[in-house]
Amino acid sequence: MGARKTADSLFAALADACRRQLLALLGAGAQSAPALARELNISRASVLSHLGALNEAGWVDVVHDDSGEALYSKRAHAEAQFFAECVALQTPASPEAGDVLDAQAAAWAREWPTEDANVYLIGQRLLRLSTHIDRALKEAAASQGVLSAELLLLDALLVSGPPYTQSPTQLQKPLAMTLGGITKCVSRLEQMGLVERTPDPADGRGILVRMKPRARKILENILREGAYGTDWVASSHMPPERRAALSILLRELQLYADAEAARRSDERA
């Protein structure tokens, strides 16, 4: 199998969420298919199918113990190859293939030759992307008569699942907003008839915020128009398996950033 085909197989195998869960479990050590099926609460046949795909792609190895039972483990070099390919994705094939940020990073590297220019470049690309996302979210929200923060609050209620009800404290984590900011958004949305506040039966002094059906219609309109702020991701030429790989890398970076922010907040307290 050629290097390009091998890399594509590694990416394609990660497009399935169940396979990513299996790899996470196998990161702790070799396990049998029945044990993995119990962990994920899915059928043994489904696990075997996913393990077969991961094995074929080069993500896992299989050995048999003395009793003949198959044990699966994460292949050591697969992860290194995967991340090497991720790095290669951002490396221009030629000087002409680069963009203004590549040029900035090259200039930055000349000024700071002992530092990792990729750290600078990743930050610059995230800043550029955040500008696009922020603008698109504001436009999408405005098209429905709400603010972008209010749109995100409605989305957080939606993904919480039926009955689409959360306390302000529960909304803090997905929204990364202060309680004051959440209260302000809820008040406006309540005035518009998109949410309602009800007493929290588990907390005599607390309240719950419930999304009304009309709010779901707003989210449906935005989704139908492809204006959720990141519709350009779907319309780009990046294949699904690479989107999955990018999602994994961004998740790792975001979780670390969240942890660092929490640590610094604790230090200031």
* pLDDT confidence of residue 1: 44
Determine what percent of the chain is predicted with pLDDT higher than 70. Answer: 84
The answer to whether residue 138 sits within a structural domain is: no
What integer is the mean pLDDT of 250-268? 88
Give the Cα separation of 27 and 35 in Å (integer): 14
| Residue 35 belongs to domain spanning | 1-89+239-269
Co-location of 216 and 245 in the same domain: no
* Least reliable range by pLDDT among 83-87, 97-101, 192-196: 83-87
Co-location of 220 and 243 in the same domain: no
CATH number at 32 reads: 1.10.10.10
Co-location of 168 and 207 in the same domain: yes
Give the Cα separation of 20 and 248 in Å (integer): 9
pLDDT digits (tens, 9 = 90+) for 5-58: 456 677 777 778 888 888 888 888 899 999 999 988 999 999 999 999 888 888
Co-location of 252 and 188 in the same domain: no
pLDDT digits (tens, 9 = 90+) for 204-239: 789 999 999 999 999 988 887 765 666 677 667 777
Residue 15 neighbours by CB under 8 Å, 6+ apart: 240, 241, 243, 244
Residue 27 neighbours by CB under 8 Å, 6+ apart: 74
Co-location of 69 and 41 in the same domain: yes
- The total of structural domains in the chain comes to 2
Give the Cα separation of 176 and 242 in Å (integer): 27
Say if residues 82 and 20 touch (Cβ distance below 8 Å).
no
Which residue reads 């199998």 in tokens?
1
End-to-end CA distance of the chain, in Å?
Answer: 55
